[in-house]
Structure 1
Amino acid sequence: MLNIVSILIGLVTLALGLVAFMPLLGWMNWLVIPIGIVGAAVGALSSSNGGRNLNIVLIIIFALRLMLGGGII
């Protein structure tokens, strides 16, 4: 059950993160990354790894986008 919740959080993170890829909306990554961290934490509590892995991949992608945009120096 927690894996399904983690996957749903990951899908919300993905939807918001795709909006954050638009020019001038990179600041949304500061909101998307903590949501992904919560999803990864919920996924870590489950017995399956799918939701946790999805959220970890999304965190890495959006953190890289934030670094390329100059949000993290």
Structure 2
Amino acid sequence: MFNILSILIGLVALVFGIVPFLPFFAWGYWFVIPIAIVGAAFGALSSSNAGRNLNLVLIVIFSLRLMLGGGVI
């Protein structure tokens, strides 16, 4: 159950992460990364790794994009 919830939270973070991918909207990742962190926490509670891995990949990609935009130094 936690794995399904983690995957759903990851998909929501992915959808919300599409808009900040556009130029000048990278500050939106400050709001999307915590959603993925919550999804990774639920994924860590499950016995399967799929949801956790999805959210960890999203956290890495969004953090790299945030760093490229100068949002994280």
TM bucket, shorter chain: over 0.9
Structure-2 residue corresponding to 1:4: 4
Quick one: distance in 2 between partners of 1:23 and 1:16? 15
TM-score, scaled relative to structure 1: 0.98
Structure-2 residue corresponding to 1:49: 49
Percent identity over paired residues: 71
TM-score, scaled relative to structure 2: 0.98
Quick one: distance in 2 between partners of 1:41 and 1:6? 8
Q: How does 1:29-48 map to 2 (within 5 A)?
A: 29-48=29-48
Return the letter of the residue paired with 1:39.
G
Query: How many residue pairs are counted as aligned between the two chains?
Result: 73
Runs ≥4 residues deviating over 4 A: none
User: Which runs of 5 or more residues in structure 2 are unaligned?
Assistant: none
CA drift at 1:21: 0.1
